[in-house]
Structure 1
Amino acid sequence: MALPLLLGQLLALMGHGGAFYLEVRELEEKCFIQEIPDGTVVIGNYKTELYDPAMEKYQPSPQWINLFVFVKDPENKNLLARQYGPQGSFTFTSQSPGEHQICLHLESIRFALFYDGKLAIHLDMQLGEHTNDYVEFAAKDKLTQLHLRVQQLVEQVELIQKEQEYQRWREERFRQTSESTNQRVLWWSILQTLILVATGVWQMQHLKSFFKAKKLV
Structure 2
Amino acid sequence: MNYRSPLLLSLSILGLVFRASGVELTFELPDNARECFYQEIEKNVTSTLEFQVVTGGQYDVDVTLESPTKEIIYKQVKTQFDSHTFKPSVSGVYKACFSNEFSTFSHKLVYMDFQVGDEPPLPGLGDHVTVMTQMESSAQEIHRNLNRILDYQTHHRLREAQGRKRAEDLNDRVLWWSVQETIAIIVTSVGQVLILKNFFTERKPPY
TM-score of the pair, normalised by structure 2: 0.44
The higher relative CO (CA closer than 8 Å, separation ≥ 6) is in 2
Q: Please identify which structure carries the higher helix content.
A: 1
Q: Please identify which structure carries the higher strand content.
A: 1
